[in-house]
Amino acid sequence: MAEILVKNGFVVDPTNKIDGEKMDIAIKDGKIVKKVNERKAKIIDASGLTVMAGGVDIHSHIAGAEVNMGRLIRPEDHYKDAVRKTKLTRSGTGYSIPSTFVTGYRYSTMGYTTVMNGSFAPLKAKHVHEELNDIPLLDKGTYPLLGDWWFVLENLAKGDIEECARHVAWMMQSTKGYAIKVVNPGGLESWGFGHNVHSIDDQVPNFCITPREIVRGLIKVDKMLNLPHTIHLHTNNLGQPGNYKTTLDTMRAIEDLSTDGKPVAHITHIQFASFAGDDWGKFRSGADEISKYINAHNHITLDMGQVIFTDTTTMTADGPFEYTLYTLSGHKWVNSDVETEASGGIIPFTYKKNNAVNAIQWSIGLEIALLVKDPWKIFMTTDHPNGGPFMSYPRVLAWLMSKKAREATLKRCHKKAQKKSLLPSIDRELSLYELAIVTRAGTAKALGMPNKGHLGVGADGDVAIFNINPETTDIAKKYKAVRKAFKESVYTIKDGKIVAKDGEVVDNTTPGRTMWVDVKTKQPCIINEEMKRKFREYWSIEYENYPVSDHYVKVSDKLTVEASV
Amino acid sequence: MTEFKSVVCPICGCLCDDLEITVENNEIVKMKNGCAVCEAKMVYGYKSEERILKPMIRKDGKLVPVTMDEAIHKAAQILVDAKYPLLYGWSSSTNEAQRIGVELAEELGSTLDNCASICHGPSVMATQEIGIPTATLGQIRHRADLIVYWACNPWTSHPRHVERYTAFTEGRFEKSEWKNYMLKLKGETGKKKIEAASKRLGQYSPPPRPQVCMVDAPPKSIQKMGRKMIVVDVRKTKTAEAADYFLQVEPNKDYEIFSALRCLVNDQELDIDKVGGVPVDYLKDVADAMINCEFGAIFFGLGLTQSLGRFRNIEVAIALTRDLNRRTKFVISPMRGHFNVTGANIVFAWQTGYPYAIDFSQGYPQYNPGEFTINDLLRRGDNDATLVISSDPGAHFPKSSMQNMMKHPLITINPDMNAISRLGDVVFPAQWCGIEYSGTAYRMDSVPIPLKKVVEPPPGILNDQELLERILNEVRAIKAQKTEVQTKVKGEVRSAAKTVKKTAKRTKRKVA
Amino acid sequence: MITLTPLRNFDVPVHASCINPDEFKSKTLKEIAELPVTEGNRNLTLSDLFKIEQDKTETPSITLNGDFKKVKRVGQGMKTGEIIINGNAGMHTGERMAGGKIVINGNADSWTGSEMKAGTIEIHGDAGDYLASPYRGSGTGVKGGYIIVDGSVGNEVGCYLKGGVIKIKGNAGIFLGYHMTDGAIYVEKQCSSRTGAAMTGGKIILAGTVTELMPSFTIDSIKPKVKVDATQSVAGPFYVFLGDLADHGTGKLFVSKTNNPQLAFYEKYL
């Protein structure tokens, strides 16, 4: 494999506490090394450019049954954004939910090298892996939805956490997942009969359990199994006015589970969970309350779920939430319940500046990101495609880094939003160093990926080089230039190969790895005939046909962990 | 003797995966759990005498066996030479083969369509217009207490659908009602037997049918607790005989009836008292049953998708389901036919964004049913070469379509000598998907299920994926050669032109 | 003025969105000849397929002589100028047009005037399906403009209509004005069933006979005459129906009383 030497760039690597130092980065055999043979290596002159590790996205819906259904129902969204075949790349379509190949290309040309898929129903695990195989140039992982799985509900209701942990371990292996995803715990099961839970202490119908118990139980399971990532939580009452209280309740309910000061849960797309006000008319931001709590506690990490003013497609496993959205919008609505496991919904949605609620939502995301003091606690996402497609990340970055950019957008927003927004009172502007945390170093750390998100020796050879000269550019003022720089990386290097240059894919031979966790429990989950019968009763497919066999993963990157049960 | 368990049945959209198969001397000798349709294919059908064992090319009007390489080269040549080829079929093939299919279409700049085009394509289109509230079949099994089969007859088309997923099954929250239904069916059969016997004895006079109304009034039982089954169709099928209530409607009136039901569910009064041959009062009872159930499910078939109105019929059915969700929980699901036609839609969608009716002629995917669907293309005579894989349009398509298809070269890939293979210019043999090679297929509710290989294919026959890969490579090779030749020719032309100019100049000078 | 004549019959579809007055404007004849078109999957130039002639009039108009049935997307997105087609027109003619005029002296294929915003389309023959209807999955219908058809039209004409006027002098197929929210459609002769299904606004005027009315419409009144647009009003009497009730719509359906005696029973509700 070729050796690469990136010379004279301004290196921003928060994991190794390097802040804009001019230095060389050497890559050999797909890994960062101390040095390479300068004569043999390909030299990239990065003088005047910023060098970072490849981006790591912690939550983005890029593959699986739900995502593909979203693709399928929106021809009117695709046909505005057709992507031509080239000698190197496949054709496809874009906008809010790009086709698989285009997803890979577009992420890569933005300097991203790792993307974690937000969720999938375990029954449809093979589908998500088939799609991940068709997303090139990226390392990927995916989170199985386990919060409303009947085995989890039953075992937790019984109080048998160890049995629950063994089942979760089996599921992690069987579906080749990376982390436990919990969506509206208890709500998805209730949605089976068209109901929902409204607080963390509501009883889940037909199961003697509450959302509080589910979340606490799964955090304990996550710890027992030693999983690299915490549970990945989408809270109850998401998208409802006044839900910041539920979010705070959830966070308080798990405070005691963090013993070593480490996070125990990642609350995803926090913007959608930080609404205050009693109804849509009195809708306001709950950012202040949420960020105050986060600043005082260390057991939670967050990602933004920032809203972009554009036409997009919302999709989540939270079936009842999508139903509410349907009753509000009357737009085309997909609901897809999955037996014994989950539900799901899709609604196309346009966020408008002149809509007070949408504009306040836009403000909430940025407010929390800026009010939370420690960048290691909140990461940048748009919950692609829920808040907006991932191609809009550069715009979010510009808003984070420049008050001027925020003001420029805010002044075009609905009057009510302008009045209610906390943004004018916030002067903070993220530095490049902080930006590298919220887009790569922090996410990699939260995901438990020691080889990603930084440029230390031994890390993966994933590097992104951007056209920003921190010495000469005043980022906060020149936000448009920054936006442009993050839109198209000068170089993206994946596993020691230059895959994209100046916004174009130049090497399409890297399929990217699929990362999954193989949990070794001391006592494996016993699958006897009795158990198989139960599987058959619960699901409509046979036990033997349920697991994702190895050939479904093109390039497997197995992480073996030893569980304590 | 080898026994296979949990084998998946590669026939209909149900993809039952509990077959137990016994293989002896590379032959399936016994099959357990499968339905009659499954048995016909898995035990007998795949051993057909009509099996194609060698690739063939039509020479002087006759199909002549050739080597695989020759056939692949010929097929690739046809596809490269064509200005607007069409690739069609895919529904009885694996996802893995379909993926290569998209790549081939893209490389060729061809049109790409699958069998949804003639079955549930309208359902997909309706989903694109209005979305779809749906659920996996297991969810329906566990929870549904009202099951509506609309314009479909699972008893014959999806024989185990009722037994595995709906009225006859036991779910966590719903008991099986199979005993009642079986009693009812037995009663119906008995009645028919008596009628037939008395007819033979000459004592039979059919009971006078009321002239005004063919439809029976809904029984009280459709309002009861527990599982209920309603069948809506234009004729009384076997499924209808088992149902609690059979609502017979006039053909091509489904849209009107759905609209009327929507009005009733939304508490609107109607000006008329009969819709599609059904008294509005009866529809009121049906609407009540729909509103009062805990979890309802509508299954619909080709009677909706291919009758007057096509995708708008599905759209209004989905609209009714949406309205019902404001009152209770309701889902709707198409009864997909071929075992992997859902998969074809899914694979095409993730690679291109579009489920079927795709055109690559502009270098990027375009989508428009009606413009790029196979029958519309053929009817207009747009294409100049066709490749058909794992499908038999020869047996099902209108004459006008087939006539236009036959004007141009045709390549077929099918395991046995069906109607379309007989018409082919290049005829490839194929393996039986799900019997002779493994892969993935998607059930009608988009659940992926791994197909199993249980017997070895005849020697020398490639599976769809391998064959398509080889055709794709050959196409690329021919194209590369062509561009090489073209650049060469261009170069020669240019140098020739130069010499001409030079000589012209020289002559001019000489003349001067 | 530019005149295009096909050099031969086309077997496979030709994609020629470049035939557009805005594209031709300020281009020399040579530049126009070089404009890209595709025939099937082959990339060609306009002069490969058409004879291109220019006459001296300065008006930015294009005349197409011959059969253009296989030529798709003529005048797509045009904003100014005029296209005259002396022959049949292909699919998507005048799609998304925002101004100018297209005259078709022949039949028009499906998706003519799809998603148009303004301008005029005159069809002096029949029109296919989806005249003035949006793309698949899109609820963005025609926002404005004027379409007149001398002959008959196919199915699903004027779906999701938001504005503008469509006048049809012949017959119309099923689902006329499906899901329309505003604008007006006028049919002079026979109209098939499911007219105005799912409409929530706008008006449809049926001066001839109607096969069947949707059950989800309710009678409102009888009017002696009705205005189609500023220039035309039709003498009745007309039954006025409101609908589609299933979508809580208040669209108006005017149906000729004299030509439809089968609807007389509705009068008892008045």
- Contact flag A82-B322 (C-beta cutoff 8 Å): no
- The CATH number fitting domain B50-119+339-475, selected from 3.40.50.740, 1.10.8.50, 3.40.50.150, 3.40.50.920: 3.40.50.740
pLDDT band at C174 (very low <50, low <70, confident <90, very high): very high
Average pLDDT of the residues in B117-124? 95
Give the pair of three-digit tokens for residue A475: 């980022």
Residue B358's pLDDT is: 97
Report pLDDT for B503: 66
The minimum CA-CA distance between B233 and chain C, rounded to whole Å, is 19
Is C135 in CB contact (< 8 Å) with chain A?
yes
User: Phi and psi at residue B264, in whole multiples of 5°?
Assistant: -65, -40
- The contacts found for A504-509 with CB under 8 angstroms, 24 or more apart, are A504/A109, A505/A88, A505/A89, A505/A105, A505/A108, A505/A109, A505/A137, A506/A88, A507/A88, A508/A88, A508/A89, A508/A136, A508/A137
Residue of chain A minimizing CA distance to B322: A333
Residue A75's closest chain C neighbor by CA?
C137
Mutation target to probe the A interface, by most A beta carbons within 10 A, among C92, C114, C136, C140 is C136
Which residues in chain A have Cβ-Cβ distances shorter than 8 Å to C137?
A: 73-77, 332
Which candidate in A69, A71, A76, A313 is best for mutational testing of the C interface (most C CBs within 10 A)? A76
B382 vs C12, C42, C129: nearest CB: C12
Q: DSSP 3-state assignment of B274?
A: strand
DSSP state letters, A55-75: EEEEEE--SSHHHHHHHHT-H
pLDDT score, position A260: 85
Residue B391 near residue B420, CB atoms below 8 Å? yes
Q: Is A78 on the interface with C (CB under 8 A)?
A: no
Closest listed residue to residue B139, CA positions, set A482, A539, C231, A469: A539
- For the ranges A103-107, A144-148, A175-179, C235-239, the lowest mean pLDDT is seen at C235-239
Residue A8, helix vs strand vs coil: strand
pLDDT of A475-488, one tens digit each? 889 999 999 999 99
**What is the biggest distance separating any 2 CA atoms in chain B, rounded to whole angstroms?**
115
From the CA of B141, how many Å to the nearest CA of chain C? 30
Candidates B105, B83, A75; CA nearest to C15 is B83
| pLDDT band at residue C1 under the 50/70/90 scheme | confident
Q: Do the domains B50-119+339-475 and B121-197+214-334 sit in the same CATH topology, yes or no?
A: no
Q: What residue in A sits closest to B323 (Cα-Cα)?
A: A327
Q: What is the pLDDT of residue A210?
A: 96
Tokens standing for residue A264: 């125990």
- Model pLDDT, residue B197: 85
Q: List C-alpha distances in Å: C24 to A259, C78, C95, C121.
A: 73, 11, 17, 19
pLDDT digits (tens, 9 = 90+) for C206-259: 999 999 999 999 999 999 999 999 899 999 899 999 989 999 999 999 999 999
B425: distance to nearest CA of chain A, Å? Answer: 30
Neighbours of chain A (3+ CB pairs under 8 A): B, C
d(CA A374, nearest CA chain C) in Å? 44
Give the span between the Cα atoms of C251 and C270, in whole angstroms: 18
Q: Is B129 on the interface with C (CB under 8 A)?
A: yes
Residues in chain B: 512
What percentage of chain A exceeds 90 in pLDDT?
93
Which residue from B283, C165, C210, B125 is spatially nearest to C196, judged by alpha carbons? C210
- In terms of CATH architecture, what is B121-197+214-334? 3-Layer(aba) Sandwich (3.40)
Give the mean pLDDT of chain B: 92
Q: What is the pLDDT of residue B505?
A: 66
Average pLDDT over residues C108-126: 96
Q: For A455-502, write each residue's pLDDT tens digit.
A: 999 999 999 999 999 999 888 899 999 999 999 999 999 999 999 999
CB nearest to A72's CB, from B138, B173, B355: B355
pLDDT exceeds 90 at position A70: yes
Output the CA angle B23-B29-B31, nearest 5 degrees: 90
- DSSP tally for chain A: helices H, then strands E: 19, 26
Q: How far is A492 from chain C (nearest CA, A)?
A: 33
Residue of A nearest to C247 (CA): A330
Contacting residues of A for C134, CB less than 8 Å apart? 76
| A75 to C137: CB separation less than 8 angstroms, yes or no | yes
Residue B463 has what pLDDT?
Answer: 94
Contact flag C11-B362 (C-beta cutoff 8 Å): no
Chain C residues with beta carbon closer than 8 angstroms to that of A311: none
In this prediction, residues B172-194 reach a mean pLDDT of 87
Residue A276 is predicted with a pLDDT of 96
- A73 and chain B: CB distance < 8 Å anywhere? yes
Q: Is the peptide bond before A385 cis (omega within 30 degrees of 0)?
A: yes
Is residue A76 within 8 angstroms of chain C, CB to CB? yes
What pLDDT does A525 receive? 77
Task: Tokens for B365, please give them.
Answer: 């995917």
**Average of pLDDT values for A252-261?**
91
Mean pLDDT over A380-398 rounds to: 96
pLDDT tens digits for B134-165?
999 999 999 999 999 999 999 999 999 999 99
Mean of the per-residue pLDDT values of chain A: 95
Chain B residues lying within 8 Å of C41, measured CB to CB: 83-84, 108-110, 360-361
Cα C162 from Cα C173, distance rounded (Å): 20
pLDDT tens for B271-286 read 999 999 999 999 999 9
Q: Name all chains with 3 or more CB-CB pairs below 8 Å to chain B.
A: A, C
- Confidence at B213, pLDDT banded by 50, 70, 90: low
Number of CB pairs < 8 Å for A and B? 186
Q: What was the pLDDT predicted at B509?
A: 61
The pLDDT value recorded for residue B506 is 64
pLDDT above 70 coverage of chain B, percent: 95
Chain B CB contacts of A192 under 8 Å are 139, 142-143, 295, 329
Whole-number pLDDT of residue B215:
84
Is the confidence at residue A526, as pLDDT, over 90?
no
Closest among B260, B137, A409 to C197, alpha carbons compared: B260
> Of the candidates B184, B175, B154, B124, which has an alpha carbon nearest to the alpha carbon of residue B12?
B154
Measure in Å the smallest separation between the Cα of B470 and chain A Cα atoms.
19
Query: How long is chain C?
Result: 270
Choice among A43-57, B59-73, B175-189 with the minimum mean pLDDT: B175-189
Q: Chain C interface residues facing chain B, Cβ-Cβ under 8 Å?
A: 11-13, 15, 38-42, 70, 91, 110-111, 129-130, 135-137, 156, 174-175, 178, 193-194, 197-198, 212, 214-219, 244-248, 266, 269
Spans of all domains in chain B = 50-119+339-475, 121-197+214-334
A300-324 confidence digits (pLDDT tens): 999 999 999 999 999 999 999 999 9
CB contact under 8 A, C174 and B83: no
Q: Does A75 touch chain C (CB under 8 A)?
A: yes
Structure tokens, A525: 């989950």
* pLDDT category of residue C34 using cuts at 50, 70 and 90: very high
Nearest to A193 among B130, B138, B294 (CB): B294
pLDDT at A151: 94
State the smallest CA–CA distance between residue B136 and chain A in angstroms.
Answer: 5
- Residue A407's pLDDT is 95
- State residue B510's pLDDT score: 57
Residues from chain B that touch C217, judged by Cβ atoms under 8 A, are 271
* B355/A91 Cβ within 8 A: no
CA dist list (Å): A163 to A159, A229, A542:
9, 20, 21
Number of B/C CB contacts below 8 angstroms equals: 102
Would you call B443 an interface residue with chain C, using a CB distance cutoff of 8 Å?
no
Pairing between strand B146-150 and C165-168? unpaired
First-to-last alpha carbon distance for chain A, in angstroms, is 41
B8 pLDDT above the threshold of 60: yes
For the beta carbon of residue C254, count every other beta carbon within 10 angstroms.
Answer: 24
Reported in sequence order, the residue ranges of B145-276 that DSSP labels E, i.e. its strands, are 146-150, 228-233, 245-248, 274-275
- Quote the CA–CA distance of A333 and B261 in Å, as a whole number: 20
- Tell me if C135 and A76 make a contact (CB, 8 A cut-off): yes
Rg (CA), chain C: 20
Interface partners of chain C (CB pairs < 8 Å, 3 or more) are A, B
Mean pLDDT in residue range B355-373: 96
Whether the pLDDT of residue B511 is over 60: the answer is: no
Residues 300..339 of A with a Cβ closer than 8 Å to C: which? Answer: 332
